Amino acid sequence: MGLPEDLSGSSSYQVADREVPGRRIPEATTLSDLAAPELASRAIPLPEANTLADSNYRRRVFGRIRSPDGNTRFFSPQTVLVRFHAGPQVAALRVEAMRELDSVETLRARADVAFAELDFLQVRQFTPNDTALSNQWHHSVIESFAAWEKSLGSATIRIAIVDSPFQMDHADLAANAVAGWSVVSNAAITASPGIAHSTAGAGMAAAVVNNGLGVAGTANCSLLPIHINGFTSEMYNAVVWAADHDVRVVNISWSGADSPSLNEAGLYLKNRARGLLAMSGVNGIGYLAYPGYPHIYCVSMTDAADNMQSRNGDHIDFSAPGFNVYSTTTGSAYAPANGTSFATPLFCGVLASLLSINPTLFPDEVVEILKVSAEDRGEPGWDRYFGWGRIQFGRAAAAAQSTRPDIRQVVWTNSEAVVTANYRAGVEHSLWKSTQLPSPGWFHVTDASAVTNGNVIVLTDPNAAGTSAYYQVRAAVEASPPP
């Protein structure tokens, strides 16, 4: 059938042939029924829908069409993904066999439908080869060492690797690896022998830094697997699950960045978890007519000399090293890797590091930091090869550091302490104090008053009597962050 080589084996996550706990199979809908006014009531939101994609995958039952580039694309039969304007999520409809394309066109013609698409089986962007490579040149190029002076990352920030699970007990990953989820079987993942593709990606993002072993990822953030076979619906469910579990960075090193369903998932991740969805910009050469979706951040691939080594198009947002990089692989080993599949998790590691430096950053603020700090290798501003530029980790980390609360002045007068600090809209600022350093404990000044003026906040402690005091200004995200 011309399927990817890794589809030849059986799944490690066996479930009943049709039933998946907690999921419902949509009722069958004929082509004529797709014009019915009450059609939306037959659609099941993806997190609740059993599209039978896993059953089809394991039995190797696929629909197929020829794409404009001449390649064969496979999809889960009798399933259409649809977003109704009035609905909060992408949903699944079960349509007539052999009429899937007709069903998509019929749905797209409805005034109440935002978009409709097939549930395509996406493909990984690349699998690592085993050519010898002895160093991680990319850290010098993106200036990781300067960034690590600001932070080595935080376990409170989590990165999801959406793929077949990586090797969780790899000696250079285990300290950062945490339990993940299989959207295929709707069950937790606590251990996995891994595959090379996801294990290399995991290492690029978060192989343990400064442990005296093997390679270094970008940040010591928590790293979790989310298992998919590769259908768009599974990717959507993976992003939704991640957002619902406070995962702020999601890496999908597969095709699919042209999917409106995944763009919706990226928006959900932003709104729910203040997170970001990054996807591969696609390997190969030449222009790719993908749409530039605003909630999917696509990463193209550069080499050690900052030459472009992957396809270009309107979908590219940033570029990052990914050509002949060195990372973790299965069997607790290390190997070179090559592809946008590895530029993307490197980008995700940078995202996680910036959020570790300042967890109150909103997604658009993180993206703006990356834009202004990136190395502009192509046309001025944005271009379809490098996007906004090749990521520059060192400068981005310094920019993120400057957004943290920074006390500019403390003035004591008449038993009051007036503390002036920098201020960011949409973030709650609070005053804390201690009577000595190192502090046995910081105390929240609950009766402090606050006045803002532009990018400055003035916090006043009305009870500052005593010989000395030490102050902190802390920032936290408000309960209802701005859109």
Please check whether residues 155 and 272 belong to one and the same domain: yes
Is there a domain that residue 11 lies in? Answer: yes
Residue 248 has pLDDT above 80, yes or no: yes
Which parts of 274-339 fold into alpha helices (H)? none
In the residue annotation, 245 being an active-site residue is answered as no
* Token pair belonging to 324: 């002949």
Is there a domain that residue 133 lies in? Answer: no
Q: Is 135 exposed, middle or buried (0-12, 13-18, 19+ CB in 10 A)?
A: exposed
Q: Residue 11's pLDDT is what?
A: 42
Quick one: average pLDDT of 72-83?
A: 95
pLDDT band at 52 (very low <50, low <70, confident <90, very high): very high
pLDDT band at 7 (very low <50, low <70, confident <90, very high): low
Which parts of 122-195 fold into alpha helices (H)? 138-142, 144-150
The owner of tokens 């399927």 is 3
Please check whether residues 165 and 93 belong to one and the same domain: no
Is there a domain that residue 219 lies in? Answer: yes
- Comparing 25-29, 57-61, 89-93, the range with the smallest average pLDDT is 57-61
Element containing residue 452 per DSSP (H, E): strand 449-453
Which has more confidence, 11 or 48? 48
Is there a domain that residue 132 lies in? Answer: no
- Comparing 125-129, 189-193, 336-340, 473-477, the range with the smallest average pLDDT is 125-129
Please check whether residues 263 and 342 belong to one and the same domain: yes
Please check whether residues 68 and 143 belong to one and the same domain: no
SS3 411: strand
Asked which of 87, 120, 153 is the last residue of a domain, the reply is 120
Which parts of 41-186 fold into alpha helices (H)? 53-59, 100-108, 138-142, 144-150
Beta carbons of 298 and 315 less than 8 angstroms apart = yes
Please check whether residues 55 and 153 belong to one and the same domain: no
Is there a domain that residue 483 lies in? Answer: no
Residue 402 corresponds to which amino acid?
A: S
- Cα–Cα distance list, 55 to 50, 184, 323 (Å): 10, 10, 36
- Comparing 5-19, 260-274, 289-303, the range with the smallest average pLDDT is 5-19
Please check whether residues 394 and 453 belong to one and the same domain: no
Please check whether residues 104 and 214 belong to one and the same domain: no
Report the interhelical angle of 363-373 vs 340-357 (nearest 10°). Answer: 110
What is the average pLDDT value for the chain, to the nearest integer? 91
Count the Cβ atoms, other than its own, within 10 Å of residue 376.
15
Please check whether residues 272 and 157 belong to one and the same domain: yes
Please check whether residues 357 and 436 belong to one and the same domain: no
Distance separating alpha carbons of residues 25 and 123, to the nearest angstrom: 25
Name residue 417's beta-bridge partners: 412, 461
- Comparing 126-130, 172-176, 220-224, 384-388, the range with the smallest average pLDDT is 126-130
Closest to 15 in 3D by CA, of 252, 162, 168, 227:
227
pLDDT band at 9 (very low <50, low <70, confident <90, very high): very low
> Which DSSP string corresponds to 257-284?
TT-HHHHHHHHHHHHHHS-EEEEE--SS
Q: Residue 8's pLDDT is what?
A: 46
Q: How many domains is the chain built from?
A: 3
CATH number of the domain encompassing residue 376:
3.40.50.200
Closest to 421 in 3D by CA, of 458, 471, 465, 381:
458
Please check whether residues 269 and 156 belong to one and the same domain: yes
- Percent of the chain residues topping a pLDDT of 90: 78
Is there a domain that residue 437 lies in? Answer: yes
Q: Residue 479's pLDDT is what?
A: 55
Is there a domain that residue 127 lies in? Answer: no
In the residue annotation, 41 being an active-site residue is answered as no
Is there a domain that residue 436 lies in? Answer: yes
**DSSP class of 330:** T
Asked which of 401, 432, 453 is the last residue of a domain, the reply is 401
Kindly report, residue by residue over 430-463, the tens digit of the pLDDT: 999 998 887 788 999 999 999 999 989 999 999 8
Kindly report, residue by residue over 464-478, the tens digit of the pLDDT: 877 678 899 999 986
Quick one: average pLDDT of 4-17?
A: 46
Is the pTM for the entire model greater than 0.95? no
Structural domain including 444 reads 407-477
Catalytic residue among 163, 172, 317, 461: 163
Distance separating alpha carbons of residues 472 and 306, to the nearest angstrom: 42
Catalytic residue among 139, 170, 197, 295: 197
- Comparing 32-41, 178-187, 291-300, 470-479, the range with the smallest average pLDDT is 470-479
Asked which of 371, 401, 431 is the last residue of a domain, the reply is 401
Q: Residue 125's pLDDT is what?
A: 65
In the residue annotation, 6 being an active-site residue is answered as no
For the chain, the C-alpha Rg in angstroms (whole number) is 24
Q: Residue 134's pLDDT is what?
A: 46
Q: Is 103 exposed, middle or buried (0-12, 13-18, 19+ CB in 10 A)?
A: buried
Which has more confidence, 77 or 12? 77
Residue 2 has pLDDT above 60, yes or no: no
Kindly report, residue by residue over 106-157, the tens digit of the pLDDT: 999 999 999 999 999 998 764 434 233 346 899 999 999 889 989 999 999 9
* Token pair belonging to 176: 């950062």
Please check whether residues 246 and 147 belong to one and the same domain: yes
- Cα–Cα distance list, 211 to 12, 151, 173, 247 (Å): 31, 15, 11, 24
Catalytic residue among 341, 353, 356, 373: 341
* Token pair belonging to 430: 């609070």
Please, which residues have CB within 8 angstroms of residue 300's CB and are 6 or more apart in sequence? 281, 308, 310, 311, 312, 316, 318, 319, 320, 340, 343, 385, 386, 387
Please check whether residues 112 and 151 belong to one and the same domain: no
Beta carbons of 11 and 229 less than 8 angstroms apart = yes
